[in-house]
Structure formats: C-alpha cells, structure tokens
Chains A and B, each alone.
Chain A
Amino acid sequence: MKLKWAILFTAFLLAIAAPQAGAQTERTLAGEWIMVSSPINGENFSRLGNSLGFPDRDMVFTQEGGLRNGVVLREDVGANVRPLGSWRVMGNRFSAAFQLWCPVADGACGSVIMRGQFLSDTTVKGTMTVFFDQPDEGRPTGYDTWVFSFRGSRKAEGSN
C-alpha cells in the first residue's frame, strides 16, 4: 500500500515538474542570424514592380528586459546601413517588424513584417511581408504588398 502511494506521489511530482522544464526551454531570437531569402511562386517583384531583392540578411536581435530590438547589418550596402526593428516570440513562433532603409527620398519605401517558426534553437524559417508606402487599391490594406520566404541559421558566437 505504501509503495502504491509512493509511486502515485512520485508521478504527481513529475507531472507538476514537466511544465517548468518546458518553460525553461522557451525559444528566443536573441543573437545573430543569417537569413537567406527566396521568392515565393517566382514572384521577384510586387505587383507595382517594387522589390528588396534577395540578399542574405545578417540580423542581430537583442533583449533587454521586456524590450526586444532588432537590427539588420547591411554592410554589403554601406557600413552605416542598419535598418531597425522589434520582435516577439509566441511559443515556437515569432514575429518581427522592421523599417526599410530608404536613402532616396522619392524612391519606394516601406516596412517589413517577418513571421516564422523555430525548426530548432538555431534554425528558423518563415515569410517576410513587405508593405510598400505606395498605394495599391487592389490590395486589402490599400498598399503595395510583396512576400518572400526565408530560412535562417543562428551564427555561432565568435564567428564572423
């Protein structure tokens, strides 16, 4: 009888301990990532002809308390080209919102929403939606919209 109660008590302890172990392994984007992008259904441009191209993006995500910031290191374009954004994680999924970097005032500019999921702690995949500032009444938002996909790998600490 005592053995039965001991087994039940142990099972109870294991049951209440399990969620805590899960919480400790919550995903985070914090760190440096290389995001490799590619077109969806061969769409290299938006309906109005806007595009960001498909460069590999070196992205750094930080977290200080509740503040989650992101920056894209576009050293391929210029040393100081650093579009800024913010992010959040919901379980295995994440979202980030970035501003584009638009040095030409009369060129098309816009904002990017990243939506993705963790394949592991060091790999992600998802899509980026670009809302260009250019009006397009044919889109639900009223703005020119373009999507592409990405896969990301976390850079090992200390790597270049």
Chain B
Amino acid sequence: MRGRIHQLIRSAAAVMLLLLLVGINVQAGGKNFEGRWLLTITIPESPTSNSKRTITVTVEASPRGDSLNGRLTATDDNNRTVSGAWRQVGKQVSITYELPCADDGSTACGSLVMLGKVKGEFVKKGKVIVMWDTQSDTNPALYDTANGSFNGERLP
C-alpha cells in the first residue's frame, strides 16, 4: 500500500515537473526576440520634414547563443536587406541597424535605434531614435536626430 502511494507521489511530481518545464519554455519563447518579425516603423521623412514615412521590414533575428548581442537582417518593401544587431533583457529589446540609402539620394539616410517590449507575439509602442546623416552644431548627438515609433508582429 505504502509503495503504491510513493509511486503515485513520484508520478504526480514527475507530471508537475514536466508541466513546469513546458511552462518555462513557453514563457521564454514568448519573450524572446529571436525569430522572424514584421516591424512597422514610422519616422519623419527627413531631418527638415514634419511629414512621416512608414517603413515595413521583415526582421530575422538570429539566436544569441551565449552572447548578450545577436545579429539580424532587415528586409524592406523594396527587397533591400541590411544587417543589424539586437540585445534583450527581460522583455526589453533594443535593435539597431543602418537604413539602406537610396542610390539617387531620394530619401534621407540615417541610423536607427529601436527600443520596445516583447509581449508574446507582439512588440507594441516601441520607440525609435533616428540619427540622420546631417551634422548639427546644436544637437548633443552632433548630428540631427528625430524620434519615431514602431510595432512588431511575430511571423511564423
């Protein structure tokens, strides 16, 4: 009788342990930025414009492994792919990449720093810093800067 009770307790403990492990994995996967994302980024057209432009990019965030930083690629609507990097602490993710510059100079060029929170399959209300290529004597960054926003949706 006692042996049967022990066996039941061991089985229940094993089931609980399994559920915990599965739960932890689901939670970790839900917060991790690694994977494919569709990011919608809204930034000003240029350093001198109040008009906004919206860029849609497909991001492939590589696993970080043991590193604190990961690599990524960002492919825009014009099928231009550039490299970038990301880091994450908890839900907070930071993404940096260089905007692809139009050969004809038709769009202003710059660098993006993006900060957001991964919530399951989404990044909502992300903030963007744009550092344009134009120098500025008055901006503490030494170049013109602007702010924008972004949202993300995890892709299968």
Q: Is the CB of A66 within 8 A of B81?
A: yes
Report Cα–Cα, A86/B139, bound state, in Å: 23
Q: Is the CB of A96 within 8 A of B98?
A: yes
* CB contact under 8 A between A102 and B89, given known A87-B98, A127-B142: yes
- Answer whether residue B108 sits at the interface, using C-beta atoms and an 8 A cutoff: no
CB < 8 Å neighbour of A97 from B73, B87, B112: B112
Chain A residues near B120: list those with CB within 8 A.
none
Interface of B, helix, strand, loop or mixed by DSSP: strand
Query: How many residues of chain A get a CB closer than 8 Å to chain B's CBs?
Result: 40
- Answer whether residue B20 sits at the interface, using C-beta atoms and an 8 A cutoff: no
* CB contact under 8 A between A68 and B82, given known A129-B143, A140-B145: yes
Report Cα–Cα, A66/B81, bound state, in Å: 7
* CB contact under 8 A between A141 and B86, given known A85-B96, A90-B101, A131-B113: no
Looking at B81, B92, B94, B112, which has the most chain A CB atoms within 10 Å of its CB?
A: B94
Q: Mark B78-89, 1 if CB is under 8 A from A, else 0.
A: 001111111101
Chain B residues near A90: list those with CB within 8 A.
101, 109, 133
- Answer whether residue B137 sits at the interface, using C-beta atoms and an 8 A cutoff: no
Interface of A, helix, strand, loop or mixed by DSSP: strand
Chain B residues near A93: list those with CB within 8 A.
133
- Answer whether residue A139 sits at the interface, using C-beta atoms and an 8 A cutoff: yes
Chain B residues near A143: list those with CB within 8 A.
129
- Answer whether residue A147 sits at the interface, using C-beta atoms and an 8 A cutoff: yes
CB < 8 Å neighbour of A95 from B86, B98, B113, B145: B98
Q: Which of B127-152 contact A (CB under 8 A)?
A: 127, 129, 131, 133, 139-143, 145, 147
Taking A66-B80, A98-B85, A131-B129 as known contacts, 9 extra A-B pairs with beta carbons closer than 8 A to each other, sorted by chain A number, are A67-B83, A83-B69, A84-B70, A86-B85, A93-B133, A97-B111, A100-B87, A131-B113, A145-B141
Interface on A for B, CB 8 Å cutoff?
A: 66-69, 80, 82-88, 90, 93, 95-103, 105, 109-111, 113, 115, 127, 129, 131, 133, 139-143, 145, 147
